[in-house]
């Protein structure tokens, strides 16, 4: 049985303490175990990261970038093995795993531009013989707490840029699928990152609390559910840390009467059921403007959802794999039951689905609801499973008001051929990431990722330009060299 421990100061370490089982969600079988760090083990990692910081912050940005170039190549060379680890512990199909890794690699590519991104600003002669400039200096030891649904991509949102900016880093990945983060972390060492600059500490809430309480950790990045994001943000801030905490979502797609409905159905299938719906950018609500639109969309979706190819992610041709755990399966199935009890019309029921030979796997078929209303639990809650809710409205403004009234504001999209409607929607909707005929408007690595309202706690979004600002602090220096032998006398007025 494989045991995942911790990666501290360039080597795997164990503390012979608590462990948690790791499962293959396609079979329900235990495939390994992961160590759960104590507060003392976390502080061991903090100590080595703190000791490594002075030398690393003094390393020229160009040399840091050269390591990132080598790291990118190693990720590409080992992509197949990384994706197999992702599928074995998360369950997503291999094509989806490869897409996840590719998006992560794009963030490494962005970090390769650190020498340009870290250039400060300089002004000569801001006053007589006075020059002024700003620098972007690293914070010190920083940490990332990442979710189960993207065990490769989300960590790569964080530590490549944090490290390229001169910080040292501690990663606390999800304990549900820890193998891929550990494998990738070893590739970073192979690329040339000095021991202590990057560390992995596996764990549960005890480890998270230790990160939030450690006085030597300057900043924390988090991605997960909104209740935990709010907890991380509040506790981290109370302990004087800079925090960015990305939370949950309930992403709506508005379908206008003039939309290309065949393309809409294709888009909704991928956006709602890809990765078994375990994405913070998944479309979980289709808002149809008019009954004619709704009837056609529902009619086409019903057969498509019923025919989803579902099975173990490593088998070719599958479109959807299992959910991550038995507990999450029961949660999603329970929400489907709630939807029926609340009066929504369940057109496709995934609760009785099973895969021959994998009856103990956490497989749930795709589910489709019609006539969902905003007062229903399935509308209000982030289901995080393969469930799409269809809501019927009579106008674009009604649809936008409904989206604006939801507590989450992560992503949304509109399907239309009307440029005016698309422009109005993009300008006025209170959501952080907007797509026009794009169902999953995930920004490219050189932009930044982040929602509004209760989908993001903190002032700066993830990756892209915001990541440079998050992982550095600005220092402004004003300098003057007075002429030798010239005395100017005391001035009591504020300089101008």
* Cα(397)–Cα(408) distance, integer angstroms: 18
Calculate the alpha carbon distances from 303 to 276, 284, 299 in Å. Answer: 18, 18, 7
Other C-beta atoms closer than 10 Å to the C-beta of 192 total 15
Q: Do residues 216 and 46 touch, judged by C-beta distance below 8 A?
A: yes
Cα(27)–Cα(312) distance, rounded to whole angstroms?
8
Q: How far apart are CA 255 and CA 415, in angstroms?
A: 5
Give, rounded to a whole angstrom, the gap between the first and last alpha carbons of the chain: 70
Of 409, 423, 418, 493, nearest in space to 452 by CA: 409
For this structure, is 112 an active site residue?
Answer: no
Q: Which DSSP helix (H) or strand (E) runs through 251?
A: strand 251-255
- Positive or negative: CA dihedral 220, 188, 225, 392: positive
In this structure, the number of other CB atoms found within 10 A of the CB of residue 78 comes to: 17
Residue 21, φ and ψ in degrees, nearest 5: -70, 145
Beta bridge partners of 254: 287, 414
Q: Which of these is catalytic: 207, 280, 288, 389?
A: 280
Bridge partners, residue 411, by sequence: 433
Q: What angle do CA 328, 407, 158 make, to 5 degrees?
A: 65
Distance CA 194, CA 231 (A): 33
Nearest CA-CA partner of 353 in 410, 385, 306, 312: 306
Enzyme catalytic residues: 280
């Amino acid at each position: 049985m494989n045991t995942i421990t911790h990666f501290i100061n360039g080597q795997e370490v164990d503390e012979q303490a608590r462990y948690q089982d790791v499962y293959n969600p396609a079979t329900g079988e235990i495939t390994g175990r992961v160590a759960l760090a104590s507060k003392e083990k976390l502080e061991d990692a903090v100590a080595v990261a703190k000791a490594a910081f002075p030398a690393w912050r003094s390393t020229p940005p160009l040399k840091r970038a050269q390591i990132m170039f080598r790291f990118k190549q190693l990720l590409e060379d080992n992509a197949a093995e990384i994706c197999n680890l992702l599928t074995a512990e998360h369950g997503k199909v291999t094509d989806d795993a490869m897409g996840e890794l590719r998006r992560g690699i794009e963030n490494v590519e962005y970090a390769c531009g650190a020498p340009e991104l870290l250039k400060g600003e300089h002004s000569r002669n801001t006053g007589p013989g006075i020059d002024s400039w700003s620098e972007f200096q690293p914070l010190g030891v920083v940490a990332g707490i990442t979710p189960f649904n993207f065990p490769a991509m989300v960590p790569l949102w964080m530590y490549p840029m944090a490290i390229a900016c001169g910080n040292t880093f501690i990663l606390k990945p999800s304990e549900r699928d820890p193998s891929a983060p550990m494998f990738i972390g070893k590739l970073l060492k192979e690329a040339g990152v000095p021991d202590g600059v990057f560390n992995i500490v596996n764990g549960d809430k005890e480890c998270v609390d230790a990160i939030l309480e450690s006085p030597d950790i300057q900043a924390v990045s988090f991605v997960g559910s909104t209740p935990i994001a709010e907890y991380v943000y509040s506790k981290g801030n109370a302990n004087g840390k800079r925090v960015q905490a990305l939370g949950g979502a309930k992403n709506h797609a508005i379908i206008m009467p003039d939309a290309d409905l065949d393309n809409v159905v294709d888009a909704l299938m991928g956006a709602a059921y890809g990765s078994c719906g375990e994405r913070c950018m998944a479309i979980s609500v289709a808002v149809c403007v008019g009954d004619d639109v709704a009837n056609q969309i529902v009619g086409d979706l019903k057969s498509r959802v019923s025919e989803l190819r579902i099975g173990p992610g490593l088998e070719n041709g599958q479109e959807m794999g299992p959910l991550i755990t038995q507990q999450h399966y029961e949660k999603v199935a329970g929400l489907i039951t709630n939807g029926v009890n609340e009066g929504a019309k369940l057109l496709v029921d995934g609760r009785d689905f099973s895969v021959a030979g994998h009856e103990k796997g956490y497989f749930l078929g795709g589910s489709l609801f019609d006539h969902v209303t905003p007062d229903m639990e399935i509308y209000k809650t982030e289901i995080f499973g393969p469930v799409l809710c269809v809501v019927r409205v009579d106008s674009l403004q009604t649809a936008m008001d409904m989206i604006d009234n939801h507590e989450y504001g992560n992503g949304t999209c509109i399907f239309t051929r009307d440029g005016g409607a698309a422009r109005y929607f993009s300008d006025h909707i209170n959501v952080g990431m907007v797509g026009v005929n794009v169902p999953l408007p995930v920004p490219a690595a050189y932009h930044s990722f982040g929602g509004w309202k209760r989908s993001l706690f903190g002032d700066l979004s993830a990756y892209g330009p915001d990541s440079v600002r998050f992982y550095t602090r600005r220092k402004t220096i004003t300098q003057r060299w007075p002429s030798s032998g010239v005395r100017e006398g005391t001035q009591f007025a504020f300089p101008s």
